[in-house]
Amino acid sequence: MAIRNTGLAAAALIALTACGSNDEAASSDSPEPAVIGERQDNFEQIGDAFRVIRGELENDAPDMAVISANAEIINANAMKIEGHFPAGTGMDDGFDSEALATIWERSEEFAAAHERLVSASEAFLATANAGDSAAVAEGVPELGAACKNCHDTFRLDDE
């Protein structure tokens, strides 16, 4: 019987968010800082990993090695997020970004949201490494909620 989890699909979309902070500054007169592309690539990798996990969970016999490898990608990339948000790299600074000014205005909340995602991705990775596809499917909503937690406050919702 295939394990289906529509929450995983939502989590894949949610994972393409903005999270993190730093003190470097850029102005709208400057070319787009490389860090914006790096953070967008980072979130795309998280989203791609969610899609792979989702696909595996829809199989009758999910490949737990594939799920574990992609859970590792999510966890590793979640830990990189904070360094991808130097001050002055948001949409209000004139850059092609969905990062809202609240990231820097409410930096303690942003740091807490980032920590929640890192903790959730670590727990998800441990569950994936345990090899139980049903437990992985049950863990997806918590990981997705950690992603959504950040999106709701710190990312432009243009959909």
Say which CATH number the domain at 128 has: 1.20.120.10
SS3 34: helix
Q: Is 23 inside a domain boundary?
A: no
> Range of 100's domain?
34-154
Please tell me the total count of domains within the chain.
1
- Summarize the confidence of residues 135-157 as an average pLDDT: 92
Nearest to 81 by CA among 135, 19, 125: 19
Asked if pLDDT for residue 26 goes beyond 70, the answer is no
Q: Is 20 inside a domain boundary?
A: no
The pTM (predicted TM-score) of the whole model is 0.79
Asked if pLDDT for residue 158 goes beyond 60, the answer is yes
Q: Is 6 inside a domain boundary?
A: no
pLDDT at 157: 80
| Rounded Cα distance, 22 and 10, in Å | 28
Number of helical H runs and strand E runs in the chain? 6, 0
The rounded mean pLDDT for the chain is 84
Q: Is 60 inside a domain boundary?
A: yes
Q: Is 26 inside a domain boundary?
A: no
Q: Is 101 inside a domain boundary?
A: yes
Contact 126, 72 (CB under 8 A): no
